[in-house]
Amino acid sequence: MSVLNIRVYYEDTDSGGVVYYTSYLKCIERGRSEFLRELGFEQDQLMHHQTIIFAVKSLSAEYLFPAKFNDLLTVHTKI
């Protein structure tokens, strides 16, 4: 499992200071990228040298409670 801490910046929020729902997807993608990096895979090298590209086929999310400006989120990524 990979763990990544991500700070919520103003640009991640809506006018009420709550994280806009699409910003969570960015956090998920960063978690996946760091997980692959920890396993020894750099996505740019996989793309250029082995023509491997990762694409999201489907996604389901359940928002349990809102994150807000300046919160520190922890993203857990596992196989």
37: Cβ contacts below 8 Å, ≥ 6 apart: none
Domain-by-domain residue ranges, the chain?
2-56+66-77
pLDDT in tens, 5-56: 999 999 999 999 999 999 999 999 999 999 999 999 999 999 999 999 988 8
Give CATH for domain 2-56+66-77: 3.10.129.10
6 and 75 in contact (C-beta within 8 Å)?
A: yes
- Please say whether the beta carbons of 7 and 74 come within 8 A: no
Active site residues: 14
pTM (whole model) above 0.85: no
Cβ atoms of residues 74 and 1 within 8 Å: no
